[in-house]
Amino acid sequence: IAFDTNDAVMACCTSPTNSTEAIAAMPSFEPIRTKMVAEGINQAAISAFESTFNALVSGESGMIPESTIDPATGVLTTDDITAKVDKAYLAQTVVCKLNGGLGTGMGLDKAKSLLEVKSGETFLDLTAKQVMKMREEFGMKVKFMLMNSFSTSDDTLAFFQKNYPTLAGEEGLEMLQNKVPKLDKETFEPAVCESDPSNEWCPPGHGDLYAALVGSGRLDSLLKDGFKYMFVSNSDNLGATLDTSILAHFAETDASFMMECCVRTENDKKGGHLCVRKADKQLILRESAMCPDEDEKAFQDITKHSYFNTNNLWIRLDKLKEIIDANNGIIPLPMIKNGKTVDPKDDSSQKVLQLETAMGAAIECFAGASAIVVPRTRFAPVKKCNDLLLLRSDAYIITDDYRIALNPECGGVAPAMNIDSKKYKMVDQLEAACVGGIPSLVSCKRLTIKGKVLLSSSCKFVGEVSITNSSDEAKTVPPTKLTDVTLDLTDSPGVGPLKSSTVTTSPIEGQKPGTSGLRKKTKVFMSENYLNNFVQSAFTAVSDCGTDLSVGTLIIGGDGRYFNDEAIQTIIKMGVANGVTRFWVGKDGLLSTPAVSAIIRERGPVWQKAFGAFILTASHNPGGPEEDFGIKYNCENGGPAPDKLTSMIFENTKTITSYTMATDFPSIDITTAGSTTVKSDDGYSEVTVEVIDSTKNHVDLLKTIFDFDSIKALLDREDFSFVYDSMHGVNGPYAKAVFVDELGQPESCCMNAVPKDDFNGGHADPNLTYAKELVAIMGLDKTGAKIDVGDKKVPSFGAAADGDGDRNMILGSQFFVTPSDSLAVIAANANSIPFFKAQGGLKGVARSMPTSGAVDLVSKDLGFDLFETPTGWKYFGNLMDSKDLYGGKDYTPFICGEESFGTGSNHVREKDGIWAVLAWLQILASKNSDASKPLVTVEDIVVDHWGKYGRNYYCRWDFEGMDKSGATAMMEKMRADTESNTGREIGTYTIATADDFTYVDPVDGSVAKKQGIRFLMSDGSRVIFRLSGTAGSGATVRMYIEQYEPKILDKEVSKALEELVKVALELCDIKTFCGTETPTVIT
Q: Where are the beta strands (DSSP E) in 889-973?
A: 894-898, 902-905, 951-962
Torsion of CA 408, 410, 411, 417, to 10 degrees: -140
- Mark residue 416 as left, alpha or beta (left: phi above 0; alpha: psi -120 to 50; beta: remaining): beta
CB 203 within 8 A of CB 179: yes
The residues, any chain, with a CB within 8 Å of residue 935's CB and separated by 6 or more, are 717, 719, 720, 796, 928
CB 32 within 8 A of CB 360: no
- CA 322 to CA 366: how far, in whole Å? 10
- CA 249 to CA 254: how far, in whole Å? 8
What DSSP character marks residue 326? H
CB 55 within 8 A of CB 30: no
- CA 592 to CA 599: how far, in whole Å? 10
Q: How far is CA 462 from CA 440, 486, 628, in A?
A: 9, 12, 57
Q: Which of 592, 619, 796, 832 is catalytic?
A: 619
Residue 632: strand pairing partners: 615
Residue 308: strand pairing partners: 262
- Mark residue 212 as left, alpha or beta (left: phi above 0; alpha: psi -120 to 50; beta: remaining): alpha
Closest-CA residue to 827 (of 900, 925, 928, 896): 896
Closest-CA residue to 1046 (of 940, 955, 952, 943): 952
CA angle (39, 40, 45) in 5-degree steps: 100
What DSSP character marks residue 735? H
The residues, any chain, with a CB within 8 Å of residue 593's CB and separated by 6 or more, are 559, 615, 617, 619, 804, 805, 806, 910, 911
Residue 932 — φ and ψ, nearest 5°? -80, -10
Residue 234: strand pairing partners: 98
- CA 358 to CA 900: how far, in whole Å? 57
CA angle (974, 976, 980) in 5-degree steps: 85
Catalytic residue list contains 619: yes
Which amino acid belongs to residue 831? N
Instruction: Look at residue 795 and give its three-state secondary structure.
Output: coil
Closest-CA residue to 240 (of 429, 140, 377): 377
Residue 61 neighbours by CB distance under 10 Å: 13
The residues, any chain, with a CB within 8 Å of residue 633's CB and separated by 6 or more, are 517, 538, 542, 612, 613, 614, 615, 640, 641, 645, 649
- CA 204 to CA 48: how far, in whole Å? 10
CB 623 within 8 A of CB 630: no
Rg (C-alpha) for the chain, rounded Å, is 34
Residue 909 — φ and ψ, nearest 5°? -115, 30
What contacts 24+ positions apart, CB below 8 Å, involve 319-325?
319/256, 319/257, 319/366, 320/210, 320/213, 320/219, 321/219, 321/220, 321/223, 323/365, 323/366, 324/210, 324/214, 324/219
The residues, any chain, with a CB within 8 Å of residue 18's CB and separated by 6 or more, are 59
Q: Which residues are catalytic?
A: 619
